[in-house]
Structures are given as structure tokens and as C-alpha cells.
Amino acid sequence: QSALTQPASVSGSPGQSITISCTGTSSDVGGYYYVSWYQQHPGQAPKLIIFDIIKRPSGVSSRFSGSKSDNTASLTISGLQAEDEADYYCCSYAGSWWVFGGGTKLTVL
């Protein structure tokens, strides 16, 4: 199966908002309400920040939000902060397995 498509990089200034897209197919993103997003800082393990498209785990800032339209899911980070600089990965259920996006490097200018 092919990886989901994410932009390689995005950037924004502190306080701004950015959106990262994640495009799949009707067999994964479009077919299920099960998209999750993970944040990974250099040298660290991934951390769950959004699940079931729009839900946030306890302890994750409300500045992180998710959405989905057809075969594309999106992660929005509002009020950018320096500590948001990291790699972000979307992940979708695909019936019997999961598939990740290629990852997006967020730079906070």
C-alpha cells in the first residue's frame, strides 16, 4: 500500500496558524473515521496528538485540531509556539492495517 501524501515541510511564525494536509484514498482516509496524528521531536518517539480525526488525548493542547473532508485529513496548529517545531505524521486505518503519511517538518520561524 502507498503512504499517505503530506507536504514535506511547512513553516510559520510564532502566534500564526498552520495546516498540514494528509491525502489518501477511499480505501484509507476516505473510508474510515480513523485518522490519527503524531508529533515527533528529534531523537524522540512519536506522540499521539489527535485521534479519530478530531479528538485530542488528555494533556494535548487545544491549539491542535483535526478535520477531514473526503480523502484528505488536516491538522491545524493555532498560536504557533517554538516547541511545536517537530515532524508530524498522519496515520489512517485501512481495513486490516494502518498506513502513515510521509511526514511533514514544521519549522517555527
Partner 1 sequence: EVQLVQSGAEVRQPGESLKISCKVSDYSFGDLWIGWVRQMPGKGLEWMGIIYPGDSDTRYSPSFQGRVTISADRSISTAYLQWNSLKASDTAIYYCARRPDNPVPAIYFDLWGRGTLVTVSS
Give the binding site for partner 1 (CB under 8 A): 1, 3, 32, 34, 36, 38, 40, 45-48, 51-52, 57, 87, 89, 91, 93, 96-103
Nearer to partner 1, 1 or 17 (CB): 1
DSSP string for residues in 3-36: PBB--SEEEE-TT--EEEEEE--TTTGGG-S-EE
> C-beta of 102: minimal distance to partner 1 in Å?
5
> C-beta of 10: minimal distance to partner 1 in Å?
15
Q: Which residues pair with 91 in a beta bridge?
A: 36, 100
For 30, phi and psi rounded to 5 degrees?
Answer: -75, -20
